[in-house]
Amino acid sequence: MATLSLGNQTIFTQSGSDAPVMDANVNLNNVNLNNVNLNNAIFPQGFPIKVTHFQGTETQQVYGAANYDYYNDTYTTNANQNTKLLIQYGIWYEMNAAGDTLEMAVSLDGTDIGVYKDTQSGIDWNIWTTAQTITSDLTKNTGYTIRVYIKSITGNVVVPRNGASPNWTLTITEIAA
């Protein structure tokens, strides 16, 4: 076992090729690393605070139906400061004729904040579409309803595409405002 010491105090130990382990008694600027608490931390503007990822493999097919929810849930923001949310979403789908359209949207508390529309020029059975939007500043420690859904469909659009795994994804990145 290897040790790194300073002034007869052990800083790190390492066993074989394992990752080094910092000793529990090491202090940095009078902060014991074993007792670091970020519950009251304030992060600099633009700093990603939390990333949450969802995905699904639903087999339901939607032909010309709107208001199909991929995700509809409450997200509670950071307790210590106002933030923004970067919302990225994607789906597999297929369009079976020229002129078919698909419009998917993300809403925050019932108001659409991002809409993506695809109009097909011919038959395409393997379409992966991603879109993203960012919210304005959100109030700290507040629950917001986020919904990713099919806003409208015309023609013969298959959503979500069968056989794709996952056939939809959603990533929410909370960013310090």
pLDDT in tens, 125-163: 667 778 888 898 999 999 999 998 888 888 877 776 666
Identify whether 31 is part of a domain: yes
The answer on 82 and 138 residing in a single domain is yes
Q: 129 and 61 share a domain?
A: yes
Classify residue 146: in a domain, yes or no: yes
Domain tally for the chain?
2
- Clarify whether residues 95 and 28 are in a common domain: no
Q: What is the pLDDT of residue 36?
A: 62
**CA-CA-CA-CA torsion sign (82, 112, 65, 90):** negative
Same-domain pairing of 19 and 59: no
159 and 99 within one domain: yes
Q: Across all residues in the chain, what is the average pLDDT? A: 82
pLDDT at 37 (0 to 100):
67
Give the pLDDT of residue 143: 95
Residue 42: inside a domain: no
pLDDT at position 144 is: 95
Q: Which residue has better confidence, 47 or 4?
A: 47
12 within some domain: yes
**Which of 5-14, 70-79, 117-126, 145-154 bottoms out in mean pLDDT, i.e. has the lowest?**
117-126
Residue range 64-69: mean pLDDT, rounded: 71
Identify the residue with better confidence: 67 or 78.
78
- Asked whether residue 27 is assigned to any structural domain, the reply reads yes
Q: Distances in Å between the alpha carbon of 151 and those of 6, 26, 91, 148, 164?
A: 63, 55, 13, 9, 21
Specify whether 19 is located in the same domain as 91.
no
Q: What is the pTM of this model?
A: 0.72
One domain for residues 62 and 113: yes
Give CA–CA dist 45/18, Å, rounded: 36
Which CATH number covers residue 138? 2.60.120.1340
Answer whether residue 67 is part of any domain.
yes
Domain assignment of residue 88, yes or no = yes
Residue span of the structural domain in which 24 resides: 2-35
